[in-house]
Amino acid sequence: MILENILEAFRAILLAFFTDLNIWWFLAPIMLLWILTEIYDGEYRHELPSRNAALGNGISLTWINIASLRILFTQNPDDLVFRFLILFAFSTYGLAIIYFAFTHRISARKMGILAAPTPLYTLSVFSVLYGQMRLPLDRWILTDLLIIFLIFQLFWLVMHRFVIKGRLGDLELVEKGVSLRELKKIEDKLDGE
């Protein structure tokens, strides 16, 4: 019974991407940015997390949620208040990223975690599917979304560790005269923040 529910929820999630192909006007740029950002972060792993990239990510998440809220209010579903609260929470998260990127009230390392691509773009995709009534929400779909999120986290962790090895970031630092000892200090400093 549990396995059937989980599989049915996976089916509902998959179908949400294809019930109305117009949704891809929102999803395609989100997914393209997600993939390119992850590749970039893997190649330039020694680069300090960028506050302006975090700012852009926060603006993207907030805007995606505003667009989803607009569609939500035109559709006026029975669970409008619940959907509104979820999208409002995502918007608030996006606004928090914008605030911290502007004010520098948290370290660059924490900013990089707060505005990391996988959680941010996962929320963006969910916002589009859920806010535009393509995806219902129940405990099985939430369970599957968590599983999918963890799979993506694991996938990008493996990609960054074994496939995208950050060679460009290392080479650029070495070309600028940064010694391996200094590079290690930079990594230690980032880990300590």
Tens-place pLDDT, residues 36-48? 888 887 776 666 6
The predicted pLDDT at position 187 comes to 62
The predicted pLDDT at position 180 comes to 66
Please answer whether residues 132 and 44 qualify as being in contact, where contact means their C-beta atoms are separated by less than 8 angstroms.
no
The rounded radius of gyration (Å) of the Cα atoms in the chain is: 19
Write the pLDDT tens digit of every residue in 61-71: 999 999 999 99
The predicted pLDDT at position 113 comes to 86
The predicted pLDDT at position 67 comes to 93
Please answer whether residues 106 and 100 qualify as being in contact, where contact means their C-beta atoms are separated by less than 8 angstroms.
yes
The amino acid present at 41, given as its one-letter code, is D
The predicted pLDDT at position 156 comes to 84
pLDDT at 91 over 90: yes
Q: Name the residue among 163, 45, 54, 46 with its Cα closest to residue 107.
A: 54
Residue with structure tokens 């918007």?
Answer: 91
